[in-house]
Structure 1
Amino acid sequence: MKYPITVYGDPVLRKKATVIEKEHPKLEEIIDNMWETMYYSDGVGLAAPQVGMPIRMFVIDASAGADEEPELENFKKVFINPQIIETKGDEWTMNEGCLSLPEIREDVSRPDEVTLKYQDENFTEHLETFKGFAGRVIQHEYDHLEGILFVDHLSPLRKRLLKGKLLAISKGKVQPHYRIRIPK
């Protein structure tokens, strides 16, 4: 089932997400639906708050970056209850977009590496360091669990220039090819 994407202006995108327990109702179904929603929406990552669920989980398929980073060829993971342990390395800028902010793309600087403690879909614990494109996508999706959007990383001037577009999104005056949930 494809979920509608929650867009800018909905309070769920600004809440700090809560920890998931192994017994979370219908978790396997939620994960399957998140994959289906992400692929249908042409995303490389999707966090649970983006589909209206304030829980600490996101999915990523970074294989789109395999042309430049061959190790990403089969990079498809579920991250449950992630915690950033450390970010390091040189900051680099890349143009980012977000399914919750349709029609907006901006250059965002992030550190090159992120070390993350997380559980997979079987609640097996992992401690891994991710670099490059995968590290960037993880940081972007992790921000969603903290109530942060990529536009929060922009300068005050750039944010002011985007104010009209953000207001239009919150009113549903955008037409992405996927279903959206407009804030009440």
Structure 2
Amino acid sequence: MNQEILLIGNPRLKQIAQEVKDIHHPKIQTLIDNLLTITYKCHGVGIAAPQVGESSRVIIIASHPNIRYPDAPFIPPMAMINPRIISHSEDIILRQEGCLSVPNQREDVPRYRDVMVEYFDRDGNYQIKEYNNFVARIIQHELDHLNGILFVDRVHKEVS
């Protein structure tokens, strides 16, 4: 399985990831383990399967303070399989984001402050949970990767 993170310009980052049919398949479980390892090794707070060239609707959320995000809140790392936002707040917050696939670039990106997400965990349990602020931002960022969208695609450009 690929341990390299695909970088902006790679056409695979623009593809829509495929739904996971068998969460318990060893390939999916290994993918989750690899994504967790890569996230911590690269000081990330999340990663999506397409970033390592895997067309699977799998994201990792692993918010923790680190050199890239010193003020990140700590939450236990988790896999979200086939995640989907089912509702969100009206409030939109503009904050800086970076991405492991877009090195050395940070931009202000508008995101919903709160999101309600449905997904399956790595054990196949169906979950519905609300996430707020920084963690909601991570989820929206990683969900974008599943849909072939990079954060730079969401940056508002001033018209001159």
Q: TM-score, normalised by structure 2?
A: 0.88
Matched, 1:19 2:19: yes
Counterpart CA distance in 1 for 2:104 and 2:12 is 20
Deviation digits for residues 80-104 of structure 1, max 9, x if unmatched?
Answer: 0011111213111111000000011
Counterpart CA distance in 2 for 1:81 and 1:46 is 14
CA contact (8 A) 1:57 1:80 kept: yes
Say which structure is richer in helix. Answer: 1
CA contact (8 A) 2:65 2:71 kept: no
CA contact (8 A) 1:62 1:134 kept: yes
Counterpart CA distance in 2 for 1:117 and 1:82 is 6
Which structure has more relative contact order (CA 8 Å, sep 6+)? It is 1
Q: Please list every run of 5 or more consecutive structure 2 residues that lacks an aligned counterpart in the other structure.
A: none
Alignment of 1:109-148 (within 5 A): 109-148=110-149
Aligned position for 1:93: 94
Counterpart CA distance in 1 for 2:158 and 2:9 is 20
Task: Give identity over the alignment, percent.
Answer: 38
Counterpart CA distance in 1 for 2:108 and 2:92 is 12
Of 119-128 and 24-33, the range deviating more from structure 2: 24-33
Aligned position for 2:104: 103
Counterpart CA distance in 1 for 2:28 and 2:9 is 26
Aligned position for 2:5: 5
The residue type paired with residue 128 of structure 1 is K
Say which SS state the counterpart of residue 117 (structure 1) adopts: strand
Structure whose CA Rg is larger? 1
The count of corresponding residues between Structure 1 and Structure 2 is 156
CA contact (8 A) 2:93 2:112 kept: yes
Q: Compute the displacement of 1:2 (Å).
A: 7.3
Q: TM-score, normalised by structure 1?
A: 0.77
Counterpart CA distance in 2 for 1:68 and 1:75 is 16
**Would the alpha carbon gap of residues 37 and 82 (structure 1) be closer, same or farther in structure 2, given more than 3 Å must change?**
same
